């Protein structure tokens, strides 16, 4: 199930961009600890005091794609080539299309690369 969550590095970058969604599964929050390890945190104190002690949100990739869609008006497409050996992605932000990211071995690799590219674009917009 860990491949459903963004990486620790992505979570840190998203936090810097203002992403503040923590996925809750019943009474457990999906977090990264201070060592960058994914954990389902069950301490109820986190619910009431906010994230502390170095824990950061470990969101699902689908939550991140939704956030970028809502905040940056982006669309991401990930597909498999006809040869069934590689995957690719493209990003459309408003009316600008970014193509050419191809030859990933797995869907998850393409998905992570797409999130990395969205983070890069968002940082450029924030800084520029």
With bands split at pLDDT 50, 70 and 90, how would you rate the model's confidence at 39? confident
- pLDDT tens track for 17-38: 999 888 888 778 888 988 899 8
Which whole-number Å values give the CA distances from 91 to 4, 31, 59, 72, 117, in the listed order? 20, 27, 20, 11, 9
In the chain, the number of structural domains is 1
**In which band, very low, low, confident or very high, does the pLDDT at 46 lie, cut at 50, 70 and 90?**
low
Fill in the DSSP letter of residue 26.
T
Between the CA of residue 115 and those of 9, 36, 47, 52, what are the distances in Å? 11, 18, 27, 25
Residues contacting 79, CB < 8 A, separation 6+? 87, 88, 89
pLDDT tens digit sequence for 97-116: 776 567 899 999 999 999 99
* pLDDT value at residue 100: 58
Q: Give the domain range for residue 40.
A: 2-127
Q: Which residue has the higher pLDDT, 12 or 33?
A: 12
| Joined tokens for residue 116 | 């990395």
């Amino acid at each position: 199930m860990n491949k459903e969550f963004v990486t620790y590095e992505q979570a840190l970058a998203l936090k810097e961009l203002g992403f503040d969604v923590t996925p809750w599964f019943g009474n457990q929050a999906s977090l990264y600890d201070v060592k960058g390890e994914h954990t389902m945190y069950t301490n109820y104190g986190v619910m009431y005091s906010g994230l502390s002690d170095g824990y950061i949100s470990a969101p699902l990739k689908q939550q991140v794609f939704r956030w970028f869609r809502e905040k940056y008006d982006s669309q991401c497409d990930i597909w498999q080539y006809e040869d069934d050996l590689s995957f690719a992605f493209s990003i459309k932000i408003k009316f600008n299309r970014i193509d050419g990211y191809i030859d990933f071995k797995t869907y998850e690799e393409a998905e992570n690369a797409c999130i990395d590219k969205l983070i890069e674009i968002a940082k450029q917009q924030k800084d520029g």
